[in-house]
Homo-oligomer: A and B are copies of this chain.
């Protein structure tokens, strides 16, 4: 069974050296969401943290050689599901980002670890269930 998704928006940033992970990033940028979803963003507030689910659109296709890998921050080879490697069976990323401001369909965020042009798949509140 295949599942097909359509991005809800795109990441825009002029930071050239994007940190490897949101836990160590203060890079800023915008989540530009399609205008058709603007009413879904209205309660998002400055200071809030968001789960942002996105597509690793620049990753090579997954193959068995990527099942066990050496993370950048470790000397040990481990299973892909114990890492946040961008090369995974389904090329989906998850970042927790801080909202700096919201203007219409543009959410300005801090903590980016996504490249400029990254397709955004979903946004959820990181704190409130």
Q: Which residue of B lies closest to A127 (CB)?
A: B23
Number of interface residues of A (CB under 8 A): 48
A18 within 8 A of B: no
Which residues of chain B are within 8 angstroms of A122 by Cβ–Cβ distance? 81, 88-90, 92
Q: Which residue of B lies closest to A51 (CB)?
A: B94
Cα–Cα distance between A125 and B80 once the two chains are bound (Å):
10
A60 within 8 A of B: no
Q: Contact at B121–A92, with CB atoms within 8 Å?
A: yes
A119 within 8 A of B: yes
Which residues of chain B are within 8 angstroms of A82 by Cβ–Cβ distance? 40, 42-44, 125, 128
Cα–Cα distance between A109 and B26 once the two chains are bound (Å):
33
